[in-house]
Structures are given as C-alpha cells and as structure tokens.
Amino acid sequence: MLPLIPVLERFLRKVLHKKIRTVAQPRYLHKVTIELSDTVIEAVRNETLHLYDNAFEIIIRGLRLRPDDVRSEVSLQTIIKGRDWQPIIDVDRQYNLTIKALYSGIIEYISQALPEMTPEQANKLFSIRAAGREIVEAVKDTKHLQKNLANYANSPNQYLRQEYDQLRLALAALLRELEHVRQQKPGESMILALDNLRLNMRKSDKELNIRLEAAIREKKITPQQATSIMNDSNYIYEVTDNLVRMGEVLFSTESEEIQSTERLLKLEEDELETLVAKKSQ
C-alpha cells in the first residue's frame, strides 16, 4: 500500500486543483426551452438568482466574513467585534470563476430568446438582465472597497478601525436583510422592506459625514484618511443601491398586477430625502 501513496497524492492534487478552478456554468438555461416564453423568463430569473448567490459569497468574503455568519441570526456587531478575520480573497479571480461566464451566458440566452417574446415578456427579460448587471456592479464595487479595508481594518488608529468596522457592518447588514426579504412569504410587502434598506443607508451616510467632520477637527484622522472612508462609504452606497434594485426585480413572487401596485408605493428620491432629514433631527 505504501508505494501507492505518492501516486494517490498526485492524483488527488490534480483532481482538487481542477475542481477549484472550475468556472461556474449556467444551471437553468436550456436550449430546448428557449421557444417557451414563460419558461424562458423563469429560467432567466432563476439563473440570475444563481448569479446573485455567487456574488453574495464574493461580497461577504470580500468583507473577510463568513457567509454562514451573515445568514445566521447571531448579532453582526458581535461577529465583527470578535475580530475573527477570514482570509483575503482575490475578488478578480472569484469574479472570473463564478460571475463572468454565468453573466455572459444569461446575456446570450436572453438575446436568443427575444425574437419569440411579446413586448411585455421582453420588458420582463430586460428588467432581469438589468438586475444581473447590478449584481455584477456590486461585485466590482466590493473589489474597490477591499483595498482600503485591508489597509485600515487593522490600523493602530482606533478611530479608523471603528469606521471600517462600521462599513463592514453596514454591508453585512444589508446582505442579511436582503436574505430576509428573499424569504418573505407572498402578501408581505417586499417594496416597503427594500425602501427601508435604502432609507437606512441614506441615514447612515449622512451620519458618517457628520462624524468625519468632527474627527478631522479633533485630529483623530487626517483629511486624506477621511477621504478614503468617504470613498469607501460611497462604494457601499452603490452596492446597496444596486442590490436593492436587483431585489425589486428578482425577489418578488407576486403576480404582475400586485408587483405594479407595489411599485406605486415605492418611495421617490425626494421622499427618501425628506424621511432621512426627519430621522436625523
């Protein structure tokens, strides 16, 4: 048996190496169903949810957290304060492995299906395609965020550490809430839940600006460090905006009539600003 161990070791290394580098492929996009319009729409929706699941993993690991922690009911503040940092991931590599080909497959499938679609069905596909693009943009924003997170999260400057922990907390909380929205039962107001996420992010952004102004005056951080925090906060704001719009399209299981009614309840930009101003008083 012993002489076979080196051979077995080489075999396992080769198999595991190939497995790790496997590029994610579509699960639901089958050519045989491409002429069945309703089936196509559901297939594209499911595939875009598959894309989101992959993006969820990248974004969470980009924050150096565990996906299972975010899906759990354990306090996120407790998790982040525990300083149990997960290994840094290569976002570009993960994007190429689990996002790029999948998204391209969705785009190609939609293009092939469109000639058989009614205008109403085509609009549904366009909405889902836009949701896929928003998922991709969220992953790209995470890449930008990761650089300063690595630089400042373990900084000797306590204030910097706290602010970057707050940024991690904000994005992790968003993803946890999106999971809750995704699990909502028919009849529960998805749009109102998503509006609440947008409102909380606006409020957090305003509060951050106030804190940073005070921190600069008190010389807790330099203006350059404050700029880095503001830039990274903006990335989180963009991720929030993209994923909330994605959720509006992908997470609803209601009929088109009910979805249209819910969209009428969605807060407009000026309404959001008014509510943020009231909450800040």
Q: Is residue 212 in some structural domain?
A: yes
Q: Is residue 15 in some structural domain?
A: no
pLDDT at position 78 is 92
Burial of 127 (0-12, 13-18, 19+ CB in 10 A): middle
Residues 252, 198: Cα–Cα separation, whole Å: 17
Give the domain range for residue 136.
Answer: 24-280
Measured in degrees and rounded to the nearest 5, phi and psi for residue 81 equal -65, -20
Q: Is residue 28 in some structural domain?
A: yes
Q: Is residue 9 in some structural domain?
A: no
Where would I find the H helices in the chain?
5-20, 37-62, 67-71, 76-81, 91-95, 101-113, 119-152, 158-182, 190-217, 223-250, 256-265, 269-280
Please give the chain's pLDDT, 281 residues, in tens.
445 555 555 555 555 444 445 788 899 998 888 878 889 999 999 999 999 999 999 999 999 999 999 999 999 999 988 867 888 899 999 999 999 999 999 999 999 999 889 999 999 999 999 999 999 999 999 999 888 888 887 789 999 999 999 999 999 999 999 999 998 876 566 777 888 888 888 888 889 999 999 999 999 999 999 999 999 999 999 999 999 999 999 987 654 544 454 444 454 555 545 544 455 55
Residues 52, 99: Cα–Cα separation, whole Å: 9
Report if pTM > 0.85. no
Domain count, the chain: 1
pLDDT at position 19 is 47
Q: Is residue 133 in some structural domain?
A: yes
pLDDT at position 84 is 74
Angle at 90 between CA 159 and CA 69, to 5 degrees: 60
Nearest to 159 by CA among 76, 207, 225: 225
Burial of 275 (0-12, 13-18, 19+ CB in 10 A): middle
Residues 52, 65: Cα–Cα separation, whole Å: 17
Nearest to 243 by CA among 170, 174, 168, 149: 174
Q: Is residue 145 in some structural domain?
A: yes
Q: Is residue 195 in some structural domain?
A: yes
Q: Is residue 1 in some structural domain?
A: no
Give the other-Cβ count within 10 Å of 267's Cβ.
17
- 60, 172 contact by CB (below 8 A): yes
